[in-house]
Structure 1
């Protein structure tokens, strides 16, 4: 939780309003009257050149936006593969538990059959030695207790009535044992299949990471080239504007610049003060909301880390004693060393209404100014980012404690008891999908094909809070309609 003082450090980056972050350019030159007259003849010749350069800069900006979108999709694909891996591991652990249970039942059935066979053999031998006319009293001699007396009496009656019935019962017991044996084999096969599926998901995650690294490296090289082209075009445009407009335009530009500087400095100071006040108020409310913190902590305790590729819970598998079946086959149970904690399968708020919406927004707003870190963020707050082999690494995200876009949503909604996966595509299907034209305060807003690129939280009045990209921070931005999905997601109303 950041304090109001800490939020003030990055306040210039908190609100995406005009005039912040160096919007006013350096002052242009203020030429003399003689220079103004000399430059007048050049105006007409430069008009066409200015138009061409403006188009070139616009094209470069469009290509940069397309490259950034492609990189964002690759990053979220890695998040998806890691979430799928943890799901497959849970299935493997459950199947291994089923194997252990069926094999224990098989051992119990075998022990019961063996005991029944011993008792039958004993009574059969006794009957043979004493004859069928032995009184019922003699059958009670040597009994171990009331249960044993009843067992002996029952066997004597069965032997006297119909010896074949006893043999049939033993055969049925053997058949039941064989059925349990078959169930154990089937459960073991299911466990093996689930374990194979988990390994396949692991391979998918590793392949996705490798592909993302290669794609990011390629896209970064292209982006660098386009940025160089754009910088060159901007330099040419600056020169052309000087020549076209002439020194008289520079005089007017200086006057306009000075007016703009004064106005935007005043606007920036007002916006910075408002941002500090809003962030500090949200942080204070979040700090005081002990119930929201408790709900978030409870959700975090049941989660696997979505960035964990290796699974320590199933690293060492122990094998119990083998069990030999009637046909000579040997079955071995594979039991997990530990069991994962259960986690929610579908997000449901533990609190609802407008107060719940404001709790979600307060938790997000309390993180204004926290650095962007790819892969960062959980139910309890910002976490250390991870490597991506490209853009995020170049910004040192793996050494930053912060949020990525989906991680910020996890933290915001955990305060009302909603657990979300760390992938925008899955968050897009986590709640009620409402047409984007009907969005309300507290809805999640998504971008990219099937919500694979980005997510933010709508605040109302055309604004949203987001963790936008590497090198940036959690901030309030104007709502962007370009690239938005057809629906927003409403988890609480």
Structure 2
């Protein structure tokens, strides 16, 4: 039983003592996301599968697999996680800090990491989620989830701090709009920069900008923080 391997928690939740990798499958082969130090989780099932347990992160309700070897990196959470609502007005005031987070991430040596949500290596939605979380605003984990979460806007009304989504058959990439047709994002090797860089929402600039312009999907504005309760 999983709970026998963990100290009892009066809240039913556990706190990360350091950054922890979480996986898409119980075999711990494919990174799904990362649990930054200080985040909280709940165990979904008492049963173990291939040396892992299924968990749900409290801040974004994201489910993944935690290796049993990482259980010592958890401690019982003294307080339940309670999502804090935030107004659009407050979000607007925090946009400069969110952008500064991405600049600092870009200026630190990094590469694109599928599933990465902690410094220095991020995937696209991991960078966006972490940048907003750095000022207390939570977004869903994956790019398509973020696209469903934000308030849809026309491209002509893009403002600094809005999100731009890319994809072909569905949303597979997200970037943060900086103004003046520029955006910052973490992109992979195949059509991107293999890390965090600034590109332009035009098809007559550099090759990476052209690649993503051809996959432009939609734009959205963050008007609230994720507040779904477990």
Q: Given the two structures, how large is their TM-score scaled by the length of structure 2? A: 0.55
Contact 2:88 2:223 in 1 (8 A): no
- How far the C-alpha of 1:309 sits from its partner, in A, is 2.1
Structure 2 runs not aligned, ≥5 long: 1-29, 36-40, 202-211, 225-230
- How far the C-alpha of 1:433 sits from its partner, in A, is 2.0
| Partner Cα distance (2:216, 2:31) in 1 | 21
Aligned-residue CA RMSD in angstroms? 4.4
| Partner Cα distance (1:91, 1:302) in 2 | 10
Say whether 1:416 aligns with 2:148. Answer: no
- How far the C-alpha of 1:341 sits from its partner, in A, is 6.3
Say whether 1:375 aligns with 2:97. Answer: no
Contact 1:408 1:466 in 2 (8 A): yes
| CA deviation vs aligned residue, 1:188-235 (integer Å, no higher than 9, x gap) | xxxxxx657x96xx8999xxxxxxxxxxxxxxxxxxxxxxxxxxxxxx
Larger radius of gyration: 1
Higher relative contact order (CA 8 A, sep 6+): 1
| Residue pairs, 1:169-188, within 5 angstroms | none
Say whether 1:443 aligns with 2:158. Answer: no
| Partner Cα distance (1:346, 1:484) in 2 | 32
Q: Given the two structures, how large is their TM-score scaled by the length of structure 1? A: 0.28
| CA deviation vs aligned residue, 1:84-114 (integer Å, no higher than 9, x gap) | xxxxx8374xxxxxxxxxxxxxxxxxxxxxx
In structure 2, the CA distance between the partners of 1:481 and 1:492, relative to structure 1 (3 Å rule), is: same
| Residue pairs, 1:233-382, within 5 angstroms | 309-310=65-66, 312=68, 342-343=80-81, 348=86, 352=90, 354-369=92-107, 370-372=109-111, 373-378=113-118, 382=119
- How far the C-alpha of 1:347 sits from its partner, in A, is 6.7
Contact 1:347 1:420 in 2 (8 A): no
- Which structure is higher in helix share? 1
Aligned-partner SS, 1:442: coil
Q: How many residue pairs align between the two structures?
A: 167
Structure 1 runs not aligned, ≥5 long: 1-76, 84-88, 93-193, 206-300, 316-336, 383-400
| Partner Cα distance (1:466, 1:345) in 2 | 26
In structure 2, the CA distance between the partners of 1:482 and 1:343, relative to structure 1 (3 Å rule), is: farther
- How far the C-alpha of 1:454 sits from its partner, in A, is 0.8
| Partner Cα distance (2:180, 2:67) in 1 | 45
- How far the C-alpha of 1:376 sits from its partner, in A, is 1.9
